[in-house]
Amino acid sequence: MDLFRAYVIADALSILRDHVRLETPGEDTGLLAALHRTLDEDVFAPEDVPAFDRSTMDGFAVLARDTFGASEGLPAYLEVAGEVLMGHSPPGRLETGQAFRIATGGMLPEGADAVVMVEHTEDLDERTIGVTRPVAPGENLIRRGDDLTQGVLLLPRGHRLRPQDVGLLAAAGVTRVRTRKRLRVGIVTTGDEVVPVGQTPGPGQVRDVNSYTLSGQVHECGAEPVVYGIVRDDFDTLAGVMRRALDETQAVLISGGSSVGRRDVTVDVVASLGAPGVLFHGLAVRPGKPTIGAAIGEKLVVGLPGHPVSAMVVFALLVRPLLDPGYRAFPVRARVTRSLTSQAGKEDYVRVRLERDGEGRLTADPIPGKSGLIATMVRADGLARIPLESRGVAAGEEVEVIPF
């Protein structure tokens, strides 16, 4: 492995995937606690959903053929034979020439095959309505099993549960599922110049931003961040913290100390922790070039740049796909509002604000600022990608934008 080569993201991901196994054991999980966790089993529907034919409108359950030909000038007159109360079975069977009052979600009475919306009826007296618009069989109702059929695969093993997935399981009556335990991801911040957020920085000092931004990004992956605090630029101290983090987590992120300055000891520490060790030191991206990729045993170690923006960008491009394999970024195309230069041989990721122009086209307005300026990420809606082979883009040219 050429440690001095700057790798494109796709190659760096391939190298890490060949060496790292980020898997955790499964456990039985209650439905509320299962959100954002990964299924460790296929889940099948234990019953039909809905369990009965139900109305999708407020109105009257009818036999559709009784309404054929109805109009405002010549309504179809039906006897109101009863009312379906919410949460109760219908009071009887619907016969020809009859209608049952029914609310949205109410259970369709036996014999009915459609629902007339209340707006398309007129009350003649307490026992008779006129239907002013015909309905077809199956109109304004959901049949039993239309949403889910008993025995159908609801969600496959390996799927990370989103709010709508949990809702689907709840609708099917599934109260517990087997999920994988959350990945534990260690976060180590290095640098003699870094101080806790509650401390006023002295000359040459900065507050610890990366522990917080990286923790948030780890949470978004459905994993559990474990923060090990600020570690000074000392080989033995950093090595001790790293060994502890590797014992307690499945992956470790180190921010700072990844460039080739005299006091940047991170790469030496990582190389000392065990095989296979450092797999690459450098990405062909900007910001984020001095990134370190490593594996200790089958555990992931990534050395991120110390600048908060660089660290967040590299996390999004390189770390998230490893922690959250089911995640898919869906880039959009937008016209850049200003010309941007780029260095050939590197992928540039530029912070942009997304807006619509007067013709409704999506535009990407670059946000100026260096990689140490976290406020630029707050003002941005995404990252515009300038390809590896490009030397820039001209104003008005379309670019690919990865939304946040």
Which pLDDT does position 128 carry in this prediction? 96
Q: Are strands 299-304 and 251-255 parallel, antiparallel or unpaired?
A: parallel
Which pLDDT does position 362 carry in this prediction? 95
Which pLDDT does position 371 carry in this prediction? 66
pLDDT tens digits, 88-121: 999 999 999 999 999 999 999 999 999 999 999 9
pLDDT tens digits, 202-214: 999 999 999 999 9
Which pLDDT does position 374 carry in this prediction? 87
Find, among 146, 157, 121, the residue nearest to 37 by Cα: 157
| Token couple for 251 | 């992956």
| Token couple for 10 | 């796709």
- The CA distance from 154 to 42, in Å, is 8
pLDDT tens digits, 322-347: 999 878 888 999 999 999 988 878 89
- With 0-12 CB in 10 A as exposed, 13-18 as middle and 19+ as buried, what is 112? buried
Which pLDDT does position 159 carry in this prediction? 92
Q: What is the DSSP letter of 67?
A: G
What structural domains does the chain harbor?
A: 9-24+182-323 (3.40.980.10), 26-49+146-180 (3.90.105.10), 54-142 (2.170.190.11), 332-403 (2.40.340.10)
pLDDT tens digits, 368-396: 877 668 899 999 999 999 988 888 899 99
| Token couple for 267 | 């790469």
Amino acid letter for position 117:
M
pLDDT tens digits, 39-77: 999 999 999 999 999 999 999 999 999 999 999 999 999
For 126, residues 6+ apart whose C-beta sits below 8 A from its C-beta are 80
Mean pLDDT of 354-373: 87
Confidence tier at 262 by pLDDT (50, 70, 90): very low
Residue that is written with structure tokens 């990286």 in the block: 214
> pTM of the prediction?
0.81
Which pLDDT does position 23 carry in this prediction? 87
